[in-house]
Amino acid sequence: MKNTYFITTPIYYASGNLHMGHCYTTVFADACARYNRLLGKDVFFLTGSDEHGLKIQRAAENNGMKVEDFVQNRVDHFKDVWKALDISYDKFIRTSDPEHVACVQKILQQLYDQGDIYKDYYKGLYCVPCETYFTESQLVDGKCPDCGRPVEEASEEGYFFKLSKYQKFIDKLIKDDNNFLVPESRKNEIYKNFVKPGVSDLCISRSTFSWGVPLPFDKKHVAYVWIDALVNYISALGYGSNDDSLFRKYWPSDVQVVGRDIARFHTIIWPILLKALNIPMPKQIHSHGFLTQKGDKISKSKGNGFDPITLSNRYGGDTVRYWLLKDGPIFNDVPYSSELFVKTINSDLCNDLGNLTSRTTAMIAQNFTNVVPEPKTVVPSQDDEFIAMMNGVKAKCDDAMKDQRVDKAIEYIFDLVRYANKYIDMTTPWSLAKTDKDRLATVLYNLHQCLSIVATLLQAFLPQTADKLCAKLGISKSDFSNVKYSRDDYGMVVDKGEPLFVRYDVQKEVALLDGEIKEAVAPAPKPTKEKVKEKEPKQMITIDDFDKIDLRVGKVLASEPVENSDKLLKNTVQIGNETRTIVSGIAKYLKPCDIIGKNVIVVCNLKPIKLRGVESCGMIICAVDETCDKLTLVTTADDIPSGSGVN
């Protein structure tokens, strides 16, 4: 039997900052990965960044950064967040990785060659400023859901993936395989809304921007970002490369964790893509709900995110992990607020676990000079149930974790913690200290055993807390395959030390967090001052110098993007009787339709130069602001014949 466990998160859009909602997916997957490692499985845990597409190209432009620098900056940010939350990924894939790009191209070529991709016209409702097609149902009040402007019917040439050919397959997979998509409610929703009505062929190419993976059979198009992104789950394992040993070892994936907004991509496009490639299906797509704030999904576009680094710096990464794993949206949406967060730290981590730890270690310190005593007097009516709980908790966690029920596993562990606190109240060790040292020895021994079991199990969920707890209890982590009550683990030296968790004043923290968080969730960084070139004042010239420049009015007859460049436009400009080709670096700001037919001012006596293989004879004058955010053509106030002089 395979002893591997391959778990994935979605790859995050490299556009903005990560918020608590994003962290849910990854912390959840991390807990599953860690638990399975502890069970002795050979685990591969994959996460990464989704870096292509118009949105990201635009985000980079809006930040005045080269897109390559922008995505690198986002990846650094993602890795900082994952470090703060102790995410133990085995690989961080980037869709800009050359190996990934090669894999996407290989797959597209295969699908094209086997007739699963064909060329046609894409028809839809197009938002010109956003350069994006929408379906009727995606519109908000009949307008673009992103910018709110009117959309228009449009069509363009594109390549289509024959999803419809696989209708029968996908119908059976979603309807009959109860394990493929969990929870059941999501499976029913996807089936009813997307599968039953029939899947349509999918346009998998875009030609209106260039930041993407070029189609190998038509380089004028780049791959639709979802096709590019989904392939990460197998390109990361070397699928289709010279070394596909990881793919052979770990595929099919055991669990792919996704939020409910992207479940349909993972349960329709993804399995069909795999089927077309004759690759076995993932064993399970686990689709969780959203963290919400005031009823809305926490999202970067709404600016209602909560910054995980701020929280983890102030309270520790494990507090964030605990809140997400215990109260996070395992299936349904759940609300998040600073108040809920701080209250949970106080009640569960500080009161329940923290107090149990300090009471136990303090009493061992006080009564047995820090050394865990040998158990003596047993009182079955008090001890049996406690011992049974200690012996049963691991099996219950194992059972829960077979279905990725992280929430249940945490609950079982904390039920034990709460029971242990009750055991203290029931056995009153502070009285035993005066009356019955032998019984006290057993009670404190049992509490120490309980905390050792808790520490061992917590490794998967709260790794830092587990380490600290072990240090306090004077134990090394025990064997995960044998988490049981024993009567022979005494003699260790405990270290009372600092409390495990601090108790917070809820009101004060909420006021602070809500202020701090607002500032912390800043958009992606703007370029530093040094990056924006200040315009140096130029040297004075004489009228004779100026006279050397041959400026004339031209009329733009045609304009088109230069192949393989996202910056250059090749313009055909009429200047009097002459027609010239002039290449301008303005594609980032202006589309051909913005300049065709316009009068422009041309520097006519500039030496010709070749740009991307195209000879450019002259220069079109533009006005550009200091930060290079805005560029506009310099034109004539009234119409005037082309060739007219400018002086």
Contacting residues toward ligand ME8, per CB under 6 A: 10-13, 21-22, 24-25, 50, 229-230, 232, 258-259, 261-262, 290-291, 297-299, 329
Please give the Cα distance from 317 to 87 (Å, whole number): 10
Residue 62 token pair: 């809006």
Nearer residue to ligand ME8 within complex by CB, 50 or 352? 50
Nearer residue to ligand ME8 within complex by CB, 19 or 448? 19
Pairing mode of beta strands 42-50, 4-13: parallel
Q: How far is the CB of 266 from ligand ME8 (least distance, A)?
A: 7
Nearer residue to ligand ME8 within complex by CB, 332 or 481? 332
3-state percent helix, strand, coil for the chain, nearest multiple of 5 = 45, 20, 35
Q: How far is the CB of 40 from ligand ME8 (least distance, A)?
A: 29
Helices (H), 150-231: 167-176, 184-190, 225-230
Please give the Cα distance from 19 to 318 (Å, whole number): 16
Instruction: Calculate helix-pair angle for 506-520, 308-315, nearest 10 degrees.
Output: 140
119 contacts 156 by C-beta, under 8 angstroms: no
Residue 329 token pair: 């949206």
| List of residues 6+ apart from 67 with CB closer than 8 A | 56, 57, 60, 61, 211
Q: How far is the CB of 584 from ligand ME8 (least distance, A)?
A: 34
Q: How far is the CB of 603 from ligand ME8 (least distance, A)?
A: 44
Q: How far is the CB of 79 from ligand ME8 (least distance, A)?
A: 15
Nearer residue to ligand ME8 within complex by CB, 296 or 505? 296
Candidates 433, 446, 435; CA nearest to 380 is: 446
Candidates 161, 162, 165, 160; CA nearest to 119 is: 160
Instruction: Please count the CA atoms within 13 angstroms of the CA of 412 that sit on its side-chain side.
Output: 22
Please give the Cα distance from 104 to 161 (Å, whole number): 14
Q: How far is the CB of 26 from ligand ME8 (least distance, A)?
A: 8
Q: How far is the CB of 582 from ligand ME8 (least distance, A)?
A: 39
Q: How far is the CB of 14 from ligand ME8 (least distance, A)?
A: 8
Q: Which residues pair with 160 in a beta bridge?
A: 118, 203
Q: How far is the CB of 7 from ligand ME8 (least distance, A)?
A: 14
Q: How far is the CB of 185 from ligand ME8 (least distance, A)?
A: 16
Q: How far is the CB of 265 from ligand ME8 (least distance, A)?
A: 7
Q: How far is the CB of 355 from ligand ME8 (least distance, A)?
A: 32
Give the Cβ contact number of residue 409 at 10 Å: 25
Residue 582 token pair: 């002039």
Nearer residue to ligand ME8 within complex by CB, 84 or 457? 84
Q: Which amino acid is at 320?
A: V
Q: What is the DSSP letter of 348?
A: I
Give the Cβ contact number of residue 353 at 10 Å: 25
Q: How far is the CB of 55 from ligand ME8 (least distance, A)?
A: 10
Rg (CA), the chain: 31
Nearer residue to ligand ME8 within complex by CB, 291 or 573? 291
Nearer residue to ligand ME8 within complex by CB, 328 or 373? 328
Nearer residue to ligand ME8 within complex by CB, 10 or 158? 10
Nearer residue to ligand ME8 within complex by CB, 108 or 229? 229
Please give the Cα distance from 350 to 357 (Å, whole number): 10
Using CB atoms, what's the residue nearest to ligand ME8? Answer: 259
If DSSP codes are grouped into helix, strand and coil, which group holds residue 195? helix
Please give the Cα distance from 583 to 608 (Å, whole number): 10
Candidates 149, 160, 163; CA nearest to 123 is: 160
592 contacts 620 by C-beta, under 8 angstroms: no
Nearer residue to ligand ME8 within complex by CB, 23 or 195? 23
Q: Which residues pair with 505 in a beta bridge?
A: none
Nearer residue to ligand ME8 within complex by CB, 186 or 468? 186
Nearer residue to ligand ME8 within complex by CB, 170 or 600? 170
Q: How far is the CB of 279 from ligand ME8 (least distance, A)?
A: 15
Residue 26 token pair: 């990854």
Q: How far is the CB of 297 from ligand ME8 (least distance, A)?
A: 5
Write phi, then psi, for 490 (nearest 5 degrees). Answer: -120, 175
Nearer residue to ligand ME8 within complex by CB, 104 or 562? 104
Nearer residue to ligand ME8 within complex by CB, 232 or 284? 232
| H, E, C per residue of 444-504 | HHHHHHHHHHHHHHHCCCCHHHHHHHHHHHCCCCCCHHHCCCCCCCCCCECCCCCCCCCCC
If DSSP codes are grouped into helix, strand and coil, which group holds residue 95? coil
Please give the Cα distance from 408 to 388 (Å, whole number): 18
Q: How far is the CB of 512 from ligand ME8 (least distance, A)?
A: 23
One-character DSSP codes across 252-288? SPSEEEEEGGGHHIIIIIHHHHHHHTT-PPPS-EEEE
Nearer residue to ligand ME8 within complex by CB, 10 or 282? 10
Please give the Cα distance from 492 to 472 (Å, whole number): 10
Pairing mode of beta strands 255-259, 4-13: parallel
Nearer residue to ligand ME8 within complex by CB, 130 or 262? 262
